């Protein structure tokens, strides 16, 4: 929350620049992730930045997170007009609670925690 208050744009990553044919903010970031995958030796055709979203989407589904909440954590559009037009969306504490439901049984990520 402190980080967001420092940036008038209200974006978590204010340094992202728009690019590509549709002017999306993920254009350059996606390319850098792809280059990093190649550097790590990950070069299978269908393994891309969006593979991370697929992985997270699957984890949220398996954690029984309602789709109406999962779409917000994944950065997708809300499913209904009621929420897409008339809701400002979940607040950060609620999004954090959703993300904390992600589990990867058999995979230790303990080294990633501060």
99 and 58 part of one domain: yes
Q: What is the pLDDT of residues 31-63, one digit of tens each?
A: 888 888 889 888 887 888 778 888 999 999 999
State the pLDDT at residue 105.
86
Number of domains in the chain: 2
67 and 92 part of one domain: yes
0.85 exceeded by pTM: no
State the pLDDT at residue 22.
92
Query: For residues 58-96, b (16+ Cβ closer than 10 Å) or e, as one string?
Result: ebbeeeebeeebbbbbeeeebeeeeeeeeeeeeeeeeee
99 and 53 part of one domain: yes
Give the residue numbers spanning the domain of 27.
1-42
């Amino acid at each position: 929350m402190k980080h967001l208050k420092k940036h008038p744009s209200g974006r978590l990553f204010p340094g992202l620049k728009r690019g590509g044919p549709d002017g999306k903010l993920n254009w350059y970031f996606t390319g850098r992730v792809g280059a990093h995958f190649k550097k790590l030796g990950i070069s299978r055709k269908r393994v891309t930045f969006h593979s991370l979203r697929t992985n997270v989407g699957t984890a949220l589904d398996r954690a029984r997170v309602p789709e109406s909440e999962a779409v917000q954590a994944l950065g997708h559009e809300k499913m209904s007009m009621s929420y897409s037009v008339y809701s400002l969306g979940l607040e950060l504490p609620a999004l954090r609670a959703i993300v904390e439901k992600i589990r990867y049984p058999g995979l230790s990520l303990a080294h990633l925690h501060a």
